[in-house]
Chains A and B, each alone.
Chain A
Amino acid sequence: MARAIVNETLCKGCGMCVIACPKKILVLSQSKINSKGYHPAELVDQSKCTGCAACAIMCPDVAITVER
């Protein structure tokens, strides 16, 4: 059990977490737009999350918190 929690207000939709995730379970939301106009990242399949924190490590906005 693990999950990466993306703070959608801080996220700038740069996509670096998407690239970094070894399980490919992060995507940039196509439907959501945050107050700054970005499509925030979202975790689409929590069951596959191992809590490796690769996404958080690559996030330039410290927008991701990881729990395990």
Chain B
Amino acid sequence: MAIVFQKPKALLDVPFTYCPGCTHGIIHRLVAETIDELGIEGHTVGVAPVGCAVMNYNFFACDMVQAPHGRAPAVATGLKRAIPTNIVFTYQGDGDLAAIGTAETVHAAARGENITIIFVNNAIYGMTGGQMAPTSLPNQVTQTTPYGRDTSYSGYPIRVCEMLATLDGTALAQRVTVDNVKNVLNAKKAIKKAFTYQIEKKGFSIVEVLSTCPTNWGLDAQESLQWLRDNMIPYYPLGVYKDIVDVKEDSK
């Protein structure tokens, strides 16, 4: 018998510290598989966020830099401009990327910074115990919206892919999810495309991955996957929002 599935080399041989059923683990694996398949571990540098994935420098085998909350795209810009032949990626949650880091995210995209952002959107702040995120849904109950998110008071969620797709510097903006095997394989394709676009110097790429947070949603793994399907996918439709390869030359 031959091994047809095992842990990728780009993941260090240590247990993940994420909650049971947390999709961070799947996404880490997809990024690591991509790094393995593209053979780029030796010249890849990842940027860790502040959030549940704050210690992902303990999981990825490539060189890693820890960034202040929200600043990962700026740190990534410094890393990439320093050594442009290196592949630089950030891995960020919804607070990191779309709250405190909104400016850094938008401007990295606007500059067409040749980096890849993996955006883990689970509509909540996990690390700090379940507060409202900029991507929390209308009426969603969180620790800081205990009566449900009232849009007239706390505003509306931000659709990041749609927003970044309006920028010329964005080469790829794609939203995927990991709630079943087919979607995981599709997410992997998107992540691999994003890294490939970076290798091909096409510009800024972001893959938004709709994810679960069983602990703070107060649901088990199976219920969380269903909640994601029922609530998140309708608000955040899956798909490609910008792909530079599809932008025809004469439409510029």
A contacts B: CB pair < 8 Å: yes
- A interface residues, Cβ below 8 angstroms from B: 1-3, 9-10, 12-16, 19-20, 38, 51, 53-54, 56-62, 64-68
Contacts of A20 in B (CB 8 A): 180-181
Inter-chain contact B1/A61, CB cutoff 8 Å: no
Inter-chain contact B1/A1, CB cutoff 8 Å: yes
Inter-chain contact A65/B3, CB cutoff 8 Å: yes
Inter-chain contact B221/A15, CB cutoff 8 Å: yes
- How distant is the Cα of A20 from the Cα of B5 in the complex, in angstroms? 15
Report the nearest B residue to A18, measured CB to CB: B222
Asked whether B148 is an interface residue with its Cβ less than 8 Å from the other chain, the reply is: no
- How distant is the Cα of A2 from the Cα of B11 in the complex, in angstroms? 25
Inter-chain contact A58/B181, CB cutoff 8 Å: yes
Contacts of A13 in B (CB 8 A): 20
Residues of B in contact, count (CB < 8 Å): 30
A to B contact number (C-beta, < 8 Å): 79
Contacts of B214 in A (CB 8 A): 14
Inter-chain contact B21/A15, CB cutoff 8 Å: yes
Inter-chain contact B220/A57, CB cutoff 8 Å: no
Contacts of A53 in B (CB 8 A): 4-5
Contacts of B181 in A (CB 8 A): 20, 54, 57-58
Q: Which of B1, B5, B29, B220 has the largest count of A CB atoms less than 10 A from its CB?
A: B5
Inter-chain contact A60/B22, CB cutoff 8 Å: yes
Known A58-B26, A62-B11: A16·B4 in contact at CB below 8 Å: no
- How distant is the Cα of A20 from the Cα of B222 in the complex, in angstroms? 10
Report the nearest B residue to A21, measured CB to CB: B181
Asked whether B157 is an interface residue with its Cβ less than 8 Å from the other chain, the reply is: no
Q: Which 9 A-B pairs have the closest CB atoms?
A: A60-B25, A14-B21, A12-B20, A66-B5, A14-B20, A67-B1, A53-B5, A14-B221, A56-B5
Inter-chain contact B15/A10, CB cutoff 8 Å: yes
Question: Closest Cβ of chain A: how far from B3's Cβ, in Å?
Answer: 5
Asked whether B24 is an interface residue with its Cβ less than 8 Å from the other chain, the reply is: yes
A51: contacting residue among B4, B15, B185, CB under 8 A: B4
